[in-house]
Amino acid sequence: MLELQNISFGVDTDAGKLEIIDDVSLTVADGSFTVITGPNGGGKSTLAKLIMGIEKPTSGKIIYNGEDITPLSVTERAKKGIGYAFQQPPRFKGLTVRRLLSLAAGATLPEDECCSYLTGVGLCSKDYLNREMDASLSGGEAKRIEIATLMARNLGLAIFDEPEAGIDLWSFSMLVKSFRAMSSGRHNSVLVISHQERIMDLADNMIVIADGRLKNQGTKEEVLPTLMGEFNQECDFRGKENADGKA
Partner 1 sequence: MEKLDSLLLQEIAGMHDIPMGAYNIRKNGEGLSRRSTANIEIRPKTDKPGIDIIVAPGTVNESVHIPVIITQTGIDDLVYNDFYIGDGADVLIVAGCGIHNSGDSKSQHDGIHTFHIGKNAHVKYVEKHYGEGDGLGERILNPVTAVEQGENSVCEMEMVQIKGVDSTKRDTKASLAAGAKLIVTERLLTHGKQEALSNIEVRLNGADSSAQIISRTVAKDSSKQVFYYNAVGNDKCRAHVQCDSIIMDNATVSSIPGITANSAYAQIIHEAAIGRINNDQLVKLMTFGLTEEEAEEIIISGFLK
Ligand X SMILES: Nc1ncnc2c1ncn2[C@@H]1O[C@H](COP(=O)(O)OP(=O)(O)OP(=O)(O)O)[C@@H](O)[C@H]1O
Per CB under 8 A, 83 contacts partner 1: yes
Rule CB under 6 A: choose which of 32, 34, 46, 194 binds ligand X. 46
For position 87 contacting Mg ion by CB under 5 A, the verdict is: yes
Helix, strand, or coil here: 133? coil
Q: Taking a C-beta distance cutoff of 8 angstroms, is the pair 192, 36 a contact?
A: yes
Which x/- pattern, by CB under 5 A, does the window 8-47 give for Mg ion?
------------------------------------xx--
Cβ density class 133-159: b for 16+ within 10 Å, e for less: beeebeebbbbbbbbbbbbbbebbbbb
How many residues in the chain?
247
Q: Is 139 in the site for partner 1 (CB under 8 A)?
A: no
Interacting residue with ligand X among 5, 27, 58, 87 (CB under 6 A): 87
For position 139 contacting ligand X by CB under 6 A, the verdict is no
Name every residue whose Cβ is closer than 8 Å to that of residue 218 and which is 6 or more positions away in sequence. Answer: 205, 206
Of 7-36, which residues contact ligand X (CB under 6 A)? 11, 13, 18, 20
Contact partner, 213, from partner 1, Mg ion, ligand X, none, Cβ < 5-8 Å per class: none
Give residue 96's Cα distance to chain centre. Answer: 23
Strands annotated E in the chain: 2-13, 16-28, 33-37, 59-64, 67-68, 82-85, 157-161, 189-193, 205-210, 213-218
**Residues facing 225 on adjacent strands:** none
Q: Among 25, 73, 173, 242, which residue interacts with partner 1 (rule: CB under 8 A)? A: 73
78 binds, among ligand X, Mg ion, partner 1, none (CB under 5 to 8 A by kind): partner 1
Among Mg ion, partner 1, ligand X, none, what does residue 103 contact (CB within 5–8 Å per kind)?
Answer: partner 1
For residue 213, the minimal CB distance to partner 1 (Å) is: 26
Which region holds residue 214: left if phi is over 0, alpha if psi is between -120 and 50, else beta?
A: beta
- Residue 165 within binding range of partner 1, rule CB under 8 A: no
Binding residue for partner 1, selected from 61, 153, 198, 238, defined by CB under 8 A:
153
Calpha distance 25→229 (Å, rounded)? 23
Cα(first)–Cα(last) distance of the chain, in Å?
Answer: 34
Residues that bind partner 1 (CB under 8 A): 52, 54, 73-75, 78-79, 83-84, 86, 88-95, 99, 103-104, 106, 149, 153
Residues that bind ligand X (CB under 6 A): 11, 13, 18, 20, 40-46, 87
Residues that bind Mg ion (CB under 5 A): 44-45, 87
